[in-house]
Amino acid sequence: MALAGLHVIELAEGIAGPYAAKLLADLGAEVIKIELPPDGDVARQYGPFPDHRPHPEQSGAFLYLNTNKQSFLLDLEAPEGQHLLRTLVAHADLLIEDRPPGWLAARQLDYATLQQRHPALVMVSLTRFGQEGPQAHFHGTPLTTAHAGGEAFTLPGRLSLDLFPEREPVQPGGMVSEYDSGLGAAVAALGALLSGHGQHIDVSQQEVLMNLNRPVMTHYFAQGDVVDRQRGYAYGGTIPCKDGYVLLRPIEDNHWQALARAMGRPELIEDARFRTRQARTEHGAVLNSLIIEWAMQQDKVELYERIASTGCPVGYFATAADVVHSPQLAAREFFIPSPHLDLSQVRLPSAPYRLSRTPWTLRRPAPRLGEHTRTILASLQRLAQ
């Protein structure tokens, strides 16, 4: 396994921190997840739940975010618990934590304390606004963090703005900003581990998110221009069809020619209004109305398959059902059965990278609350001897 031998302690809950640790666990790292009594990780309450019946061992979010980890239920309000965690960390390579600045110091679990006993420790602190700065202490939630990162201001875009001109900007969906943050923390963690030097890494979720729109920031620095929701494609873009929407990008002339043929309108190729990219841009509204008239007669997946094979870039706006049923994802075995005892029929996303020599594996399901407490305590006792 790619990260065999990497020992990670995770003190985090929700989505961002646990996702960072999951990425490492799924590639072979040994990850011990600290859960605080009485109820452990708050994601155990997020759901979805089978038949909508809440159960802390059956939360879909928790099951996905905590594959391949062990759970250690540990009371960090008690000096004994703090001492045990210090010992555990002293024998680990990496600590990932998401506590508010000051929380760890109050329990003698801050980097200054931990690194004295274990100078080679890499500690990654992932917080919404970072460890330092005038707003480091700010309260935040996934919503306010997504808005703090800059992308929300540019969403949803001109198509929605034309329909609803006075409405508010929206966060990116699916809690993606939390996942983005976790991925950023995992990237920084691996880099620091490869350095061979212990250090404290401070990752701000706001900065991870701001970085995802680097070109937007550069455009402002270079031109003084702010990208907002007014943006839209001159032609193509989001196109309604019979059962939903497709995304069409007939950017180049050869894309447009392929699309015109797929539409059964080869004569449009020579139409002066559409022959060049410049012309298509000028006559975008007319072009789109022609495309929409045609598209409204077909289902999105049908449209996608008809157009994509011609070389014109196209996608369909997929629901969860569409994604789970996608032949492409089925061919890549992207969704896999969970090894969970009671929920073996529930499939989980796997990973987007295929490593030829050290593949991704699902060795164990997300743990029950405190499932590994006893074995971990036993091994800590052995370490003390």
Does 285 bind other proteins (CB under 8 A)? Our answer is: no
Binding status of residue 380 toward other proteins by CB under 8 A = no
Contacting other proteins (CB under 8 A), which of 55, 91, 117, 354?
Answer: 354
Helix 176-195 to helix 16-25 angle, to the nearest 10 degrees? 50
Q: Please tell me whether residue 54 binds other proteins under the rule CB under 8 A.
A: no
CB within 8 A of 146, min separation 6: which ones?
A: 152, 171, 172, 177, 209
The only residue of 281, 311, 344, 381 in contact with other proteins, by rule CB under 8 A: 311
Q: Looking at beta carbons only, is 347 or 374 nearer to other proteins?
A: 347
Stretch binding other proteins (CB under 8 A), from 33-41, 176-184, 266-274, 367-375: 176-184
CA distance 12 to 96: 7
* Minimal distance, residue 42 CB to other proteins, in Å: 10
Dihedral angle over CA of 360, 366, 371, 372, nearest 10: 20
Selected binder of other proteins within 44, 69, 99, 147 (CB under 8 A): 147
Q: Which is nearer to other proteins, 31 or 314 (CB)?
A: 314
Q: Which of 7, 37, 113, 212 binds other proteins (CB under 8 A)?
A: 212
Contact stretch for other proteins (CB under 8 A) within 84-92, 98-106, 242-250, 274-282? 242-250
Nearer to other proteins, 104 or 216 (CB): 216
Minimum distance of other proteins from residue 155's CB (angstroms): 6
- Pick the piece of the chain touching other proteins (CB under 8 A) from 79-87, 158-166, 267-275, 377-385: 158-166
CA distance 49 to 229: 35
For other proteins, give the closer residue by CB, 358 or 381: 358
Distance CA 124, CA 96 (A): 5
Closest residue by Cα to residue 123 from 131, 114, 136, 132: 114
What residues from 188 to 207 belong to the interface with other proteins (CB under 8 A)?
A: 188, 190-195, 197, 199-204, 206-207
Nearer to other proteins, 75 or 225 (CB): 225
Cα–Cα dist 299/245, whole Å: 9
x/- mask, other proteins, residues 71-110, rule CB under 8 A, reads ----------------------------------------
CB of 185 to other proteins, least distance (A): 8
**Dist CA 219 CA 381 (whole Å):** 57
Is 58:43 a contact under the CB 8 Å cutoff? no
- Is 60 a binding residue for other proteins by CB under 8 A? The answer is yes
Q: How many residues bind other proteins (CB under 8 A)?
A: 149
Of residues 107-126, those binding other proteins (CB under 8 A): 111
Q: What Cα–Cα distance (Å) separates residue 96 from each residue in 22, 139, 163, 259?
A: 11, 20, 44, 49
| Nearest one of 118, 68, 125, 124 to 88, comparing CA atoms | 118
Q: Within 10 A of 332 (CB to CB), how many other CB atoms are there?
A: 12
Q: Which of 20, 126, 5, 124 is nearest to 66 (CA)?
A: 20
Contact with other proteins (CB under 8 A) among 64, 72, 256, 274: 64
Residue 21: CB minimum distance to other proteins, A: 13
Site for other proteins contains 243 (CB under 8 A)? no
Of 323, 346, 377, give the one whose Cα is nearest residue 57. 346
Coil/strand/helix, residue 244:
strand
Residue of 7, 86, 113, 247 interacting with other proteins (CB under 8 A):
247
Cβ 36 vs Cβ 12: under 8 Å? no
Which part of the chain contacts other proteins (CB under 8 A), choosing from 84-92, 150-158, 274-282, 288-296?
Answer: 150-158
